[in-house]
Amino acid sequence: MTTPHEETLFSLWRELVDVSSASAVLEWDQETYMPSKGQEGRGRALSTLAGIRHRLVTAPELSDALSACEEKAEPGSDLEAQCREARRTVDRASRVSEDLAKALAEATSQGLASWQKARAGSDFSVFEESLGRIIELRREQAEAIDSSRSTYDVLMDEFEPGATESALAPVFENLCEQLSPLILEAAKSRPVDEAPAMGDFPVAEQKAFGLFVAEQMGFDFQAGRLDATTHPFCSGFHSNDVRITWRHLEGDFRSALYGIMHEAGHGLYEQGLPSKWAGTPIGGAVSLGIHESQSRLWENLVGRSRSFWKWALPHFVKHFPAKDGLTVDQLWPALHTARPSLIRVEADEATYNLHIAIRFDIERRLFAGEISVPDLPEAWDNAYEKYLGIRAENASDGVLQDIHWSMGAFGYFPTYSLGNLIACQLFDAAENELGDLDEAFAVGEFAPLRDWLGEKVHSQGSRWNASELVQKATGQPLTAGPFLAYIRDVSSEAYGLENPAPSSGSRR
Amino acid sequence: MTTPHEETLFSLWRELVDVSSASAVLEWDQETYMPSKGQEGRGRALSTLAGIRHRLVTAPELSDALSACEEKAEPGSDLEAQCREARRTVDRASRVSEDLAKALAEATSQGLASWQKARAGSDFSVFEESLGRIIELRREQAEAIDSSRSTYDVLMDEFEPGATESALAPVFENLCEQLSPLILEAAKSRPVDEAPAMGDFPVAEQKAFGLFVAEQMGFDFQAGRLDATTHPFCSGFHSNDVRITWRHLEGDFRSALYGIMHEAGHGLYEQGLPSKWAGTPIGGAVSLGIHESQSRLWENLVGRSRSFWKWALPHFVKHFPAKDGLTVDQLWPALHTARPSLIRVEADEATYNLHIAIRFDIERRLFAGEISVPDLPEAWDNAYEKYLGIRAENASDGVLQDIHWSMGAFGYFPTYSLGNLIACQLFDAAENELGDLDEAFAVGEFAPLRDWLGEKVHSQGSRWNASELVQKATGQPLTAGPFLAYIRDVSSEAYGLENPAPSSGSRR
């Protein structure tokens, strides 16, 4: 029943997706196994692929086929959704010249290399020139896509379609207002005992335990793999080949385990994308906020729960016999610290959104022209002092800690906080439908939750936009309520606060 | 001084090379780290890249620019050589439709998967359908490229420009005539003592020793890496990123060490390609025969020499302390067996060309229509019985042992034998110029040989065709003389034959 126009649209889109998939393989290899001298040639190859992708997206045949499909699509139909997603991509690309697209690919590839060097030597100046060039090109790109909107809104739109500064600013303000007092109060209390999470955790055992947990979560290692990188990530070449990566601390198992559960959460989304729409405009994940909701849900709401540890602890002890005798009640508080820290990816679930608020604010000011590249280290350190009361001793622990800017990913950070909010909202909705999940977790049964997420989120691809998806899956629009209730509960209990703020019911 | 036409030619060629480089990364990953379910999607991505490459090679702008450059190129100039190589590629591609190119890429990607399955289960029938399809498509392709020549000649031309059945058949006949009696005579003698090469060689130590030797050869691990695969290979994404792979036997160090020296020999060629011509038509290796001469030279003429072991043995013993006390004289014969064997890649330097002669003969008959796919196992086993006096007990050790056919690489095998001949010819020429190399080898100095090869071969790219290169580097046309002299000498000594055939001088 597909028309020739649809056939053209889908066959051209398939090519586009294949080229993106090839680029993703090159990027994965760049982060995992590529030898150091390979950088320049890899940057060139990626730049060439970006140029080819750009030509494919902006090809007149694609544009013609899309217009024809748009005319024919019934309101509310799958085809209409296909056209919506295709149109967004085509418009974003066709307004950017091939030269600019190639320059961006090359600049970010070089940016990655100089960020790595700068970070290794903790010297921001090594990264300055590359970063300046990337910002300049991103500004140029945003201007070309839509000069009527703020640069930062246009940048965010790439990662979270529809998100705006004006909508997000109050959310972050609200989060800060609620979180700061909680964290300050917790910081004044006796610290939680983190010794249960510390010790000597040999890397091979950490990897083995992480692989075991990811497998129990349902990550399919016949359709994916785990490798070590400086900065953990998940990259889905397609639903049958999803790469996740990890890193570790020898003396603290939480970094590796929760990193792996986080990336495996992303990975389940990628592996669960709808095969019937593979290679089509709505075949991919809908937004980074939704993506992050999947990783955070597994990392925090599952992985830090008492019931998860009832099941996991005996396995944990098998890998780390020195922890024999440890109880869930001893361990649990160490999984729910609310402590100011310098490194975002090591931050606890309570503090995390403050890290994001800082980045959101700095990025907005950077693109509003209020601060410039050389000001970044100072602006960064000042913000950390203001919000968290601490300053980084060197740039590696401060402004150089994240890979994102080296990849040109400005406007990306806010999606992390959206992920935290949506995760809690989805988890509440799952328990409303399935009943309490603790019994299942306590015997290592994660299939009910995974299947629910598969049905409500993964298998939907980009059939609905992010707001629609949240509404359909949870029965209500996006709200920070469940997240704030969760954080209040766990932080209050972990820190034994006498007057916990009112909460919305019993939490893990 | 470059004209606009040259600029167009070189800039389009650069894109072409980048797309090929991207495909090579995907293929490398497919062999090393890709999870099993990734196969189908990877095949599609490779097929899409092959289609894109085909469109680039056959683009009218490229054709126009090439024609303009051809008109302008001075005889004997670099530009003329650029045009010669570009023309060969453009003509081979433009005569093949995009559909056929894509079908071939997909068929060979699927072929690889079914070959792997067939090999694991030692069941040729699992591979039959894929193989039949690949052969059919390759025949169609050869017909499209040049219907006036034999299919097999057109296929060989892809790997060894200019090689023909009629030229090679007498070479293989001559080799068989000279080698068979030698191997039969050796087989009747007391076997050489292989115990010095046997024992317990832990995989980690084998890898460490192999890495050490490859590094001493001059392979740059900042511009390359070594990974494990079923079938070892070398893939150069560009001269600064060259991937070599290996496999091992626990009980016999020769498989891993000589595999690594072999691939590192290929790797030195790739790393030594001329940077001034990188990404241009003459920037790559000239032919597979020349490529194989580099691997064989290091594997056999260096790695099996007494002088190499004078230097290497103490290092070897550090990795394998159980071999303490072993002498070079005890080890040397075990490196020069001349013994009929089933597996080509494990075959000794004397027998190796008989394995190739068998494949050359079977491939020719297959494409001449004298045998069909279902006949292959029987034809294979009969040939081994005839030439080597042995039959494989199962298909994995017989017709399924090589990866080549699953990749559609018919006409590739003969280049291995050309490599053996050219290696000896080059080595003789190097010693004629540099003097005896044994003293250098005995103290681990390989730079004089490597630099000579770099100057005469690696840095020449495809400036000259293979025959011209051999003539320029050695002062004479291709000849089997040095190879036969070498084999006669080492086999006679290893087997203590009383009447060695006349030789051309002292050999290692």
Using a CB–CB cutoff of 8 Å, tell me whether A203 touches chain B: no
Q: In 3D, which of B388, B397, B460, B402 has the Cα closest to residue B426?
A: B460
Structure tokens at B171: 């070479």
Show the 3-state SS of B175-199. HHHHHHHHHHHHHHCCCCCCHHHEC
Q: How would residue A344 be classed by pLDDT, with cut points 50, 70 and 90?
A: very high
Longest dimension (CA), chain B: 69
Bridge partners (DSSP) of residue A23 are: none
CATH class as words, domain A166-494: mainly alpha
- For residue A427, pLDDT beyond 80: yes
Name the helix (H) or strand (E) containing A236: strand A234-238
Q: In 3D, which of B419, B191, B184, B209 has the Cα closest to residue B300?
A: B419
Bridge partners (DSSP) of residue B225 are: B243
Using a CB–CB cutoff of 8 Å, tell me whether A36 touches chain B: yes
Q: How far apart are CA B225 and CA B271, in angstroms?
A: 12
- For residue A21, pLDDT beyond 50: yes
Q: What is the pLDDT of residue B502?
A: 45
Q: In 3D, which of A374, A395, A392, A370 has the Cα closest to residue A383?
A: A392
Order of strands across the sheet that contains A241-246 = A224-228, A241-246, A234-238
Q: How far is CA A492 from CA A85, A177, A301, A427, in A?
A: 43, 17, 16, 20
Q: How far is CA A369 from CA A135, A151, A375, A409, A416, in A?
A: 11, 10, 11, 18, 24
Please state the rounded mean pLDDT for residues B238-256. Answer: 97
Q: Which residues of B touch A240 (CB under 8 A)?
A: 35, 37-38, 40-41
Q: Rounded to 5 degrees, what angle do the CA atoms B342, B343, B346 make?
A: 125
Q: How far apart are CA B472 and CA A145, in angstroms?
A: 57
Structure tokens at A32: 């995992």
Residue to mutate among A13, A23, A32, A52, with most B CBs inside 10 A, is A52
The percent of chain B in helix, strand and coil, each rounded to the nearest 5, is 70, 5, 30
Q: In 3D, which of A278, A233, A303, A290 has the Cα closest to residue A464?
A: A290
Name the helix (H) or strand (E) containing A244: strand A241-246
Residue to mutate among B13, B36, B37, with most A CBs inside 10 A, is B37
Partner-chain residue, chosen from A40, A51, A225, that has the shortest CB–CB distance to B33: A225
Q: Which residues of B touch A51 (CB under 8 A)?
A: 15
Q: How would residue A423 be classed by pLDDT, with cut points 50, 70 and 90?
A: very high
Partner-chain residue, chosen from A19, A52, A222, that has the shortest CB–CB distance to B35: A222
Shortest alpha-carbon distance between residue B223 and chain A (Å): 5
Q: How far apart are CA B375 and CA A99, in angstroms?
A: 55
Q: Which residue of A has its CA nearest to B32?
A: A33
pLDDT digits (tens, 9 = 90+) for B202-233: 999 999 999 999 999 999 999 999 999 988 99
pLDDT digits (tens, 9 = 90+) for A247-305: 999 999 999 999 999 999 999 999 999 999 999 999 999 999 999 999 999 999 999 99
Residue to mutate among B17, B33, B40, with most A CBs inside 10 A, is B33
Residue to mutate among B18, B20, B99, B219, with most A CBs inside 10 A, is B18
Q: How far apart are CA B305 and CA B506, in angstroms?
A: 12
Name the helix (H) or strand (E) containing A99: helix A98-121
Using a CB–CB cutoff of 8 Å, tell me whether A113 touches chain B: no
Cα dihedral B329, B330, B331, B333, rounded to 10, equals: 80
Q: How far apart are CA B184 and CA B391, in angstroms?
A: 16
Distance of CA A329 to the CA centre of its chain: 30
Lowest mean pLDDT among A105-109, A410-414, B192-196: A105-109
Q: How far apart are CA B493 and CA B495, in angstroms?
A: 5
3-state secondary structure of A69: helix
Tokens 């090929």, located at residue: B20
Alpha-carbon torsion B118, B119, B121, B125, what sign? positive
Q: What is the pLDDT of residue A504?
A: 42
Partner-chain residue, chosen from A38, A47, A222, that has the shortest CB–CB distance to B240: A38
pLDDT digits (tens, 9 = 90+) for A206-234: 999 999 999 999 999 999 999 999 889 99
* ipTM of this complex: 0.89
Residue B229 near residue B245, CB atoms below 8 Å: yes
Structure tokens at A248: 């570790």
Residue B262 near residue B232, CB atoms below 8 Å: yes
Q: Is the CB of B38 less than 8 angstroms away from the CB of A221?
A: no
Active site includes B263? yes
Q: How far apart are CA A246 and CA A252, in angstroms?
A: 14
Q: Is the CB of A38 less than 8 angstroms away from the CB of B237?
A: yes
Lowest mean pLDDT among A164-178, B17-31, B479-493: A164-178
Using a CB–CB cutoff of 8 Å, tell me whether A99 touches chain B: no
Residue A38 near residue B243, CB atoms below 8 Å: no
Please state the rounded mean pLDDT for residues B339-351. Answer: 88
Q: Please return the burial class of A493, using the count of CB atoms within 10 Å of its CB with bins 0-12, 13-18 and 19+.
A: middle
Q: How would residue A498 be classed by pLDDT, with cut points 50, 70 and 90?
A: low
Alpha helix (H) residue ranges in B95-164:
98-121, 125-145, 151-159
Q: What is the pLDDT of residue A502?
A: 44
Rg (alpha carbons) of chain A, rounded to whole number: 23
Q: How far apart are CA B481 and CA A119, in angstroms?
A: 58
Percent of chain B with pLDDT over 90: 81
Q: Which residues of B touch A18 (CB under 8 A)?
A: 44-45, 47-49
Using a CB–CB cutoff of 8 Å, tell me whether B89 touches chain A: no
Residue B93 near residue B54, CB atoms below 8 Å: yes
B381 DSSP assignment: H
Helix-helix angle B4-32:B39-57, to 10 degrees = 170
Name the helix (H) or strand (E) containing A120: helix A98-121
Q: Which residues of B touch A42 (CB under 8 A)?
A: 237, 241
Residue type present at position A23: S
Residue A241 has φ and ψ, to the nearest 5°, of -150, 90
| Choice between B166 and B424, residue whose per-residue pLDDT is larger | B424
Partner-chain residue, chosen from B26, B48, B224, that has the shortest CB–CB distance to A15: B48
3-state secondary structure of B390: coil
Partner-chain residue, chosen from B19, B33, B42, that has the shortest CB–CB distance to A48: B19
Tokens 């955070």, located at residue: A296
Q: How far apart are CA B271 and CA A38, in angstroms?
A: 11
Shortest alpha-carbon distance between residue A19 and chain B (Å): 7
Out of A85, A106, A160, A263, the active site residue is: A263
User: How many residues are given for chain B?
Assistant: 508
Q: Is the CB of B42 less than 8 angstroms away from the CB of A222?
A: no
pLDDT digits (tens, 9 = 90+) for B11-70: 999 999 999 999 999 999 999 999 999 999 999 999 999 989 989 999 999 999 999 999
Residue B143 near residue B151, CB atoms below 8 Å: yes
Tokens 């690594």, located at residue: B260
Q: Is the CB of B22 less than 8 angstroms away from the CB of A49?
A: yes
Q: Is the CB of A19 less than 8 angstroms away from the CB of B222?
A: no
Using a CB–CB cutoff of 8 Å, tell me whether B49 touches chain A: yes
Shortest alpha-carbon distance between residue A59 and chain B (Å): 14
Residue B139 near residue B148, CB atoms below 8 Å: no
Domain ranges in chain B with CATH number 1.10.1370.30: 166-494
Q: How would residue B498 be classed by pLDDT, with cut points 50, 70 and 90?
A: low
Q: Is the CB of B37 less than 8 angstroms away from the CB of A221?
A: no
Percent of chain A with pLDDT over 90: 81
Number of DSSP helices (H) and strands (E) in chain B, helices first: 20, 3
